[in-house]
Amino acid sequence: MNLAGKRILLGITGGIAAYKCPDLIRQLKKKGADVRVVMTESATHFVTPMTLQAVSAHHVVNDLFDPTAELSMSHIELAKWADLVLIAPATANIIAKLACGLADDLLSTLCLATPEPIAIAPAMNQQMYKAKVTQQNLARLAERNVLIWGPDKGFQACGDIGPGRMVEPATLAVNIEDYFTTSNALAGMTITVTAGPTIEELDPVRYISNYSSGKMGFAIANAAAEMGAKVVLIAGPVHLDTPANVERINVKTAQEMYNAAIQQAQQSTIFIACAAVADYRAATIAKQKIKKQDNNNEIVITLVKNPDIVASVASLKKDRPFVVGFAAESHNIEAYALKKLITKNLDLICANDISNQQIGFNADQNALTLYWQHSITANEKKSEQETLPLCNKQILAKQLIKKIIQRYKASQNEKKN
């Protein structure tokens, strides 16, 4: 009964996935929530108000100007009643209306009138979902801290295959539970995350870099901010929007990332090094474009080692944060990860297998094996292992943050004892 006493206002809009809403309400009520339903006119074509009234045990409303409904609970009271508003399914239309702040029916009016968080479960045809304007609207909502759950990918009612399926009711129920248990769990903590690649210039037009997309680091920053931490994201050059409530420091080179990280680290509770930092940079950056040489098939560029950012943070003597590193490995994963855990003196290392194309660099999904160390005695350390199975990077990031916090708290207790 993790949702005992929680009041969920379920907004249903006109998508075929609305037929799943009675099941969603049943699952939320089973967890102890009180659920009231507001429908748009279109939604009534997919599921009947009578069915929803029967499962929610409340009168279902869809009219902004319904005098009887206003008498029992006005739309403003209803907006204040909720602890969370969930719109599922959320069509492209309601997403566009919320993005613009329209209030031309009961549901959109409630969304403007509520001071409480709003979550949406987008559901629509894959092309409508991919449409630039829908993506821009979603980005605007994310910026305003609207929680966006899904969509899932797969077969669609219209026959298409792609992203646009509503996240299943069981997952939505778990997301709501997670939201209430984790929001504000990290209040008072500062978490610094490095993300993305670095680039190392060779001349005014060329550089050395890698395929890191920054998605994992950005997902981690987002998850930590959603849980109430103050988050500083030190990002290499990537094409990703800054997650809501995250302070972003843009850097290009490993040296710039190092400078920013060292400055932030001592004010941080936890430091998470997710960036794919270039190990080497050019010994000298040519002032002018390096020209092709007609009579020479080879040229030599001397590279020098970059500072190891995470190892430098982990070796801080004063105000050392809890330090988490990543190990992207293509083989011998455990051996290499453990070596890094020990040589870089990390508290935790998260290893992923980049030989598997489904996960890791540039993919939307990832799986991690966590190796962490803790003291048995003052001189002896022990490492333990745990697996976070393959899933979407956003979800994985939330699971990872929870694990990191558990370990961090355990390490604080160890220090006290």
Chain residues 263-282 in contact with ligand C5P, contact rule CB under 6 A: 273-275, 277, 279
Which lies closer to ligand C5P via its Cβ, residue 87 or residue 310? Answer: 310
Chain residues 322-351 in contact with ligand C5P, contact rule CB under 6 A: 325-327, 340
Which lies closer to ligand C5P via its Cβ, residue 9 or residue 350? Answer: 350
Supply the minimum distance, in Å, between the C-beta of residue 360 and ligand C5P. Answer: 13
Supply the minimum distance, in Å, between the C-beta of residue 262 and ligand C5P. Answer: 11
Alpha carbon distances (Å) from 349 to 217, 400, 406: 14, 11, 14
Token code pair at residue 136: 């821009």
Supply the minimum distance, in Å, between the C-beta of residue 346 and ligand C5P. Answer: 8
The string of DSSP letters for 176-218 reads HHHHHHHTTTTTT-EEEEEESB--EEEETTEEE-----SHHHH
Chain residues 98-137 in contact with ligand C5P, contact rule CB under 6 A: none
Residue 306 makes contact with ligand C5P by CB under 6 A: yes
Residue 352 makes contact with ligand C5P by CB under 6 A: no
Q: Edge-to-edge strands of the sheet including 270-273?
A: 246-250, 230-235, 190-195, 270-273, 322-329, 348-353, 365-375, 381-392
Is 158 catalytic? The answer is yes
- Size, binding site for ligand C5P by CB under 6 A: 15
Which of 158, 274, 350, 391 does the annotation list as catalytic?
158
**Window 187-206: contact mask with ligand C5P (x via CB under 6 A):** -------x------------
Supply the minimum distance, in Å, between the C-beta of residue 46 and ligand C5P. Answer: 47
Query: Phi and psi at residue 395, in whole multiples of 5°?
Result: -70, -45
14 near 42, Cβ under 8 Å?
A: yes
Residue 368 C-beta-side C-alpha neighbours within 13 Å: 27
In the chain the first and final C-alpha atoms are separated, in Å, by 34
Chain residues 246-265 in contact with ligand C5P, contact rule CB under 6 A: 254
Closest CA to 61 of 357, 172, 292, 70: 70
Residue 308 makes contact with ligand C5P by CB under 6 A: yes
Supply the minimum distance, in Å, between the C-beta of residue 310 and ligand C5P. Answer: 3
Indicate which residues carry an active-site annotation: 158
